[in-house]
Amino acid sequence: MNAAAVIVLGQTSVPLARQIMTAIPATLYGLSDRTSDVDINFTNFGDTLRSLFVQGTPIIGICAAGILIRTLAPLLSDKRVEPPVLAVAEDGSAVVPLLGGLNGANDLARLIATALHVSPAITTTGDLRFRTPLLSPPTGYRLANSDEEAKTFLADLLAGATVKVDGIAPWLSNSRLPIAENAALTIQITERVVAITPNRLVYHPATIAIAVQNTFAEPQQLVTQVQQQLAAANLAVGAVAGVFSTVAEAANPEIHALAQSLNVPARFFRTQSPTSALAMAAVGSSGHLVDLHSDIVAIAIAAQPIDPYTIGQPQGRLSIIGTGPGGTQWMSPEVKEIIRRATDLVGYSTYLKLIGTLADGKQCHESDNREELSRARMALDLATEGRDVVVVSSGDPGIYAMASAVFEVIERDANPEWNSLAIHVAPGISAMQAAAAAIGAPLGHDFCAISLSDILKPWSAIEQRLTAAAQADFVIAFYNPVSLQRTWQLAAACEILLKWRDGSTPVVLGKNLGRPGQTVKTLSLAKLKPEDADMRTVIIIGSSKTRTIQRNSGSWVYTPRTYQD
């Protein structure tokens, strides 16, 4: 099941939402202007709710049930694919599953109700009568019958028919099913393909492990091959628990395509073993191999359902994200979702603090701001252990930040273990964008960015670029303008610019953008001094076309789209 979305419409519901989130993985959505300290703000309740529903995200609304039903009513068409939708009373006194009963809504309601110390309002007749959710079996079992077939079977049970159980199903042992030896109805638990009949309810236990190695086919060819091998062995696709391989193959798209086609996880062992040994390692010593005569694919069957998430490790994931220049309000929904699912956060302590409550429950690895390459190595090595690692940058991670450091280390060190990782860069709002937006539109035409720090590149290169940018009449954004150890560089940069720009050229200084103490002010190039800035300041130098519009409360600065003499 996907991580849930907890929806709140007012600040008084935030503590209750956080209490719910101790029981289930979830992202907190709050109505803009009415909530704070949430993961994602939204302005349109209906659009947000419908978007989450279409994406298959479980929804827990701390609000009246009616508003959820009316909002989602136009989308209701197939209850087999509907995600769980629950209403929770604003005082936490009631937890009501509304939709998604076939996809775990009642189980989700029980988890939330336990966290809130109340009883869930379960209204499903089968659940109440038999004390077991026949249409939504627990993890480790899949229902093979269609929705209509299962409904007919359940209706017969509710009408008074008796049933016998063929196979091992511990989760049914505490039920109130009307069990009888000579029953007309049968509940069968098997990993084999069996005929589905009106009087038979079939569950496939997750007992099959598929191991794959040394694949060189197109992803669809591997999928077809495995499907054919399962059919030849009379094994049900619904009984497959997971796809397994070695960490060295973790980036193999064929393996992930196979796992996706079977709707199971791909898991990886930190060992080099024959494919058959990998399959047996997944099912345990009590399992047995299916004779396939293949070095590429092996299939093994466990004696009882296996939990693939406890076997091997997932593919390591490394995300390099940008928080924007300030707090959580600057982060994109993608960045918040990446942080939410992460196991580990790596970054400069100041940047980790910008994440706020999103960092709760994560393992944080702080490092000095000047140790970018060692920080990148640490993150890469953590990810090879199967962790979901996030490297945190402020602003945009690809602009004077950690994305380039990660790829530099990958190229320089050439560690073969890193080839197994899934690496993703998620953009953020850069400081120059934030400063420009706060004052108008100084970046409205051609512009460039130059770091005045000569720690990682020589001052001669900076001089050359400053001269070229000034001659070309670019608007220029200065990053890292001054520090405690570096004060003369900004003065030297201004001296170069004044050879090509008028002293009255508008300059924008944005400091502590998006953070407490934010200031954005303007002055002329001739008046710009090192003491006007620090490392938390981004400076935008206008071009010859940049204009200032005076207003009562200050001024706007913009560079026109149309250049005219």
Token duo for residue 501 = 């720009």
| Confidence grade of residue 375 (pLDDT, cut at 50, 70, 90) | very high
Specify the CATH number of the domain 4-123: 3.40.50.11220
Mean pLDDT, the chain, rounded, equals 91
Average pLDDT over residues 6-23: 94
Residues of the chain with CATH 3.30.950.10: 432-558
Most confident range (mean pLDDT) of 1-5, 74-78, 207-211, 271-275 is: 207-211
Residues 446-476: tens digit of each pLDDT: 999 999 999 889 999 999 999 999 999 999 9
- Prediction pTM value: 0.78
Residues 143-162: tens digit of each pLDDT: 999 878 888 888 888 888 99
What class has domain 208-310?
alpha beta
Identify the pLDDT of residue 112.
93
- The conformation of residue 168, written as its DSSP 8-state character, comes to -
Nearest alpha carbon to residue 263 among 204, 195, 303, 215: 204
Q: CB 75: neighbour CB atoms within 10 A? A: 13
Token duo for residue 518 = 């934010």
Identify the pLDDT of residue 510.
94
Token duo for residue 257 = 């395509």
Residue 561: what are its φ and ψ, rounded to 5°?
A: -70, -35
Identify the pLDDT of residue 533.
92
**135 vs 151: CA distance, rounded Å:** 8
Sheet holding 519-524, edge to edge: 447-451, 475-479, 537-541, 506-511, 519-524
Identify the pLDDT of residue 353.
85
Burial of 18 (0-12, 13-18, 19+ CB in 10 A): middle
**61 vs 48: CA distance, rounded Å:** 12
Residue type, 80: R
- The separation between the first and the last C-alpha atoms of the chain, rounded to the nearest angstrom, is 61
Identify the pLDDT of residue 1.
56
Average pLDDT over residues 434-452: 95
Residues 240-291: tens digit of each pLDDT: 999 999 999 999 999 999 999 999 999 999 988 999 999 999 999 999 999 8
Nearest alpha carbon to residue 539 among 500, 558, 505, 511: 511
Share of the chain above pLDDT 90, in %: 67
Of 3.40.980.10, 3.40.50.1000, 3.40.1010.10, 3.20.20.210, the CATH number of 317-429 is 3.40.1010.10
What class has domain 432-558?
alpha beta
- Alpha-carbon torsion angle 18, 23, 29, 31, nearest 10: -50
- Spatial neighbors of 203 by CB under 8 A, at least 6 apart, are 137, 141, 142, 143, 144, 167, 169, 187, 188, 189
**318 vs 418: CA distance, rounded Å:** 10
Residues of the chain with CATH 3.40.50.11220: 4-123
Residues 463-517: tens digit of each pLDDT: 999 999 999 999 999 999 998 888 899 999 999 999 999 999 999 999 988 888 8
Classified as helix, coil or strand, 448 is strand
Residues 386-424: tens digit of each pLDDT: 999 999 998 999 999 999 999 999 999 999 999 999 999
Between 67 and 217, the more confident residue is 67
Angle between helices 488-497 and 459-471 (to 10 degrees): 30
User: Is 397 within 8 Å of 322 (Cβ atoms)?
Assistant: yes
Residues 298-352: tens digit of each pLDDT: 999 999 999 999 999 999 999 999 999 877 788 898 998 899 889 999 998 888 8
**390 vs 250: CA distance, rounded Å:** 19
Residues of the chain with CATH 3.40.1010.10: 317-429
Q: Is the pLDDT score of 425 beyond 60?
A: yes
Residues of the chain with CATH 3.30.420.180: 208-310
Output the CA angle 41-45-51, nearest 5 degrees. 90
- The conformation of residue 174, written as its DSSP 8-state character, comes to T
Identify the pLDDT of residue 126.
64
